[in-house]
Structure 1
Amino acid sequence: MIEFEKLAIETNEKKLISLLDAHQIEVTGVAQHKPTDFSLVAYEAGAYIGGVTATNWMNTTHVSLLAVDKNYRKHGLGSKLLLQAEQFAQEQKAEIITISTQDYQAKDFYEKHGYTVFGQLADSPFKGTTKYYLEKRLNHDK
């Protein structure tokens, strides 16, 4: 008889990843690679003013978070942080870099940096907003 019970998320995710890894190898012959994380922060006079985090997995880097203190926006700091994340992606030999943003956040900023929308989800994460999913194909000839 099948039983169900709650399990700590960390333990459950490890077990799920193991099942998914085995399935991927069985179906594609491609073994999993361990994800590589990236985290960079910016300070001025000891004060935290922004940062970026990303994770590379296989041939894709996903920028998880990028934010700049409102007093430092429109001065190029966000662009510098994004370029550092892209450099990390290049070093990891990623072919694609992805990011998501809300309609009230930075969609135009990412498009200005060569990202294109590949999907959107209305009313997420709350009614009246749209979440955009963007990608950029990386050129390794540089």
Structure 2
Amino acid sequence: MNSDQGSGPTLTVGERDTDLNQRLSEGLDAFNAAATGVAEQGTLSVKVTDEAGELIGGLAGWTWGGLCGVSLLWVREDSRKDGWGSRILRAAEEEALRRGCDRMVVSSFTFQAPGFYQRHGYKETGRTLGIPGGHEDVHFFKSLSGRQG
């Protein structure tokens, strides 16, 4: 851990700081609410377990202002051809709709699953270059309005 200690403020650099993350999130949420007038927000999860209670896959995300963001979606390797990714994503979309969201966003590295999201109606909105191995981070958007539940 590096720190700059003097008589004034202290700058500290280190590993993930859970308390700091919480404080930053609270501060940014307050700023965003003041700027947009939208304070309601939430987290979202979808989890699939097998008969032994072991994780098959899941999704973690968030909702805010009619938008649902997918932060993480993963399915274990031996279950990737069983349709769990599609079922998990559809469940998240249905829950987003239930919560009043009409839009979804997600990003996927080119070596992960951009084709998966495209097959599910997500449209590419941009790319972040410079991912190791010559890859890119592909950003996607999907409108849920007009979707039949």
TM-score, normalized by length of structure 2? 0.79
Task: Tell me the distance in 1 between the aligned counterparts of 2:44 and 2:77.
Answer: 23
Describe the superposition over 1:33-79 as per-residue Cα deviations: whole angstroms up to 9, x where unpaired.
22111112111122211111121101100011111001001211100
SS of structure 2 residue aligned to 1:78: helix
In structure 2, runs of 5+ residues without a counterpart are 1-7, 13-19
| Offset of residue 14 of structure 1 | 2.5
Describe the superposition over 1:77-135 as per-residue Cα deviations: whole angstroms up to 9, x where unpaired.
100000001001111121210111000111001100100100101113x3521000001
Q: What is the identity, as a one-letter code, of the residue corresponding to 2:42?
A: T
SS of structure 2 residue aligned to 1:94: coil
Task: Tell me the distance in 2 between the aligned counterparts of 1:140 and 1:93.
Answer: 13
- Per the alignment, residue 3 of structure 2 pairs with none
Report the CA distance shift for 1:69/1:12 in structure 2 as closer, same or farther (over 3 A): closer
* Paired residues of 2:32 and 2:38 also in contact (CA < 8 A): no
Task: Tell me the distance in 2 between the aligned counterparts of 1:38 and 1:15.
Answer: 21
Question: Do residues 131 (structure 1) and 137 (structure 2) align?
Answer: yes
Q: What is the identity, as a one-letter code, of the residue corresponding to 1:10?
A: Q
TM-score, normalized by length of structure 1? 0.82
- Per the alignment, residue 15 of structure 1 pairs with 27
Task: Tell me the distance in 1 between the aligned counterparts of 2:140 and 2:116.
Answer: 11
Describe the superposition over 1:1-51 as per-residue Cα deviations: whole angstroms up to 9, x where unpaired.
xx65448343344334334433x1xxxxx5222211111211112221111
- What is the alpha-carbon root mean square deviation over aligned residues? 2.0
Q: Across the two proteins, how many residue pairs are aligned to each other?
A: 133
Report the CA distance shift for 1:121/1:141 in structure 2 as closer, same or farther (over 3 A): closer
Report the CA distance shift for 1:131/1:20 in structure 2 as closer, same or farther (over 3 A): same
Which of 79, 90, 97 in structure 1 is aligned with 2:86?
A: 79
Identity of aligned residues (%): 25
- Per the alignment, residue 117 of structure 1 pairs with 124
Question: Do residues 89 (structure 1) and 96 (structure 2) align?
Answer: yes
Q: Following superposition, which runs of at least 4 residues in structure 1 exceed 3 angstroms of deviation?
A: 3-9
- Per the alignment, residue 56 of structure 1 pairs with 63
* Paired residues of 1:93 and 1:140 also in contact (CA < 8 A): no
Question: Do residues 104 (structure 1) and 95 (structure 2) align?
Answer: no
